[in-house]
Amino acid sequence: MSTFSYAIKMAILLFPIVGLLFTIPYMIHQYHKYGSISAYRSIILYSFLLYLMTAYFLVILPLPSIETVSKMTTPSYNLVPFHFISEIFSLSSFSVSDFATYFPTLQNPAVCESLFNILLTIPFGLYLHYYFEFNFKKTVFYTFCLTLFFEITQLSGLYFIYPRGYRVFDVDDLILNTFGGILGYFIAFIPLKFLPTKKEIDEEVKEKAKKVSLLKRGMTFGVDFFLYGIFLFASYYLIHNYIEDTIGIYLGIFLIWTIFYFLILPILLKGKTIGMKFFHLRFNSEKKITWYRIIAYYFWKIFFYLFVPLAFLFGGYLLWKIKKISTNFFEYYSIVIAALTLMTYLIALLKRIFGMPLSYEKISHITIVSSLDETS
């Protein structure tokens, strides 16, 4: 039991880290495919991730020392099917006709290990049937693949980190784990009766996807900023090899890429950045959406929230460079500009939370809405 509890504790302790690494790709996939994130779907998938981590740790932990494994002389595999049955009979006084032998037999280590191998994959079969909607054949196949992966992990000595396997590759484990997945498949009828199906979850998400949430806006901006940054730094890197570095060159590249990505590209993509297109967003206006409205939208947005703060910082830097202001003054000046910029962003965030239009939306008469209805 101490071995099991240790593996479960390690899975719980490491789950927040793995979950954090899983979150960004998960959010991008959900917003791209469904246009929104379902809290219920998230609970299912994160619990599935925790289950897989726990099952994996139960298979590999605790890790012995390499020195201990190198001295092992026990068999590293068993290829005889149903060998566990003969072990149960050889290590117990079980008799079908004698009920007094039933309970002591259940406490037999061979029985406990066999039950553990079955229980290990019952949740896997349940998840595959209930949420992923796999049929019986697919459930059996994927359960077998999972347990084969576990057994290969053991046989290879944790992918050849150890000189040999420190646990036995057992064909009985393949049989019992697969049987556990089959049981999980049939047990899944219980949640199917009381919990929403995947189809019902998808329908609920479709309704939520019609609203452009703050988080979805943030993800769209994140993707656009990431791609914009890649283009920008790639240009810096290429030009650095051929042209002498100057502030003017860097500023010119910055302006060119900013204008192209946030002004020209949305016009070519009919009012969408790459991020908006990826997350199924589009411009919407009570008036006709023209190219100059799109330019007004992005120009004022970029000018007010990006160019103005950068211009003040760059202006202060030039004054400091030509020694018109002292270093101390420039430092305080930069802090004030940064504070005012953050305050501006905070006000914009609060306006967005309370559903109030921002300045660039008022000027351009353009807002962002979902385009899923167009692509469905």
Q: H helices then E strands: how many in the chain?
A: 20, 4
Q: Tell me: pLDDT of 324 over 70.
A: yes
Do residue 90 and residue 171 come from a single domain? Answer: yes
Section 246-269 average pLDDT? 79
Per-residue pLDDT tens over the stretch 90-117: 666 655 555 556 556 556 666 778 889 9
| Domain of 60, in residue numbers | 2-204
Q: For 70-112, give the DSSP string.
A: HT--S-SEE--TTHHHHHHHHTS--BTTBGGGHHHHHTSHHHH
Top pLDDT among 82 and 165 is at: 165
pLDDT classification of 36: cutoffs 50, 70, 90: confident
Token representation of residue 57 = 């740790």
d(CA 30, CA 20): 15
Q: For 161-198, give the DSSP string.
A: TSSS-SS-EEHHHHHHHHHHHHHHHHHTHHHHHHS--H
Per-residue pLDDT tens over the stretch 135-150: 999 999 999 999 999 9
Do residue 35 and residue 183 come from a single domain? Answer: yes
pLDDT value, residue 213: 83
The domain boundary, picked from 172, 204, 236, lies at: 204
The domain boundary, picked from 204, 230, 252, lies at: 204
% of residues, the chain, pLDDT over 70: 90
pLDDT value, residue 112: 76
Helix axes 171-187, 83-90, angle to 10 degrees: 100
- Residue 146: how many CB atoms within 10 A of its CB? 21
| Number of domains making up the chain | 2
The domain boundary, picked from 204, 221, 243, lies at: 204
Model confidence, pTM? 0.77
Per-residue pLDDT tens over the stretch 208-243: 887 888 888 888 888 888 998 898 888 877 777 676
Say which residues have a Cβ less than 8 Å from residue 78's Cβ, sequence separation at least 6: 168, 169, 170, 171, 172
Do residue 183 and residue 223 come from a single domain? Answer: no
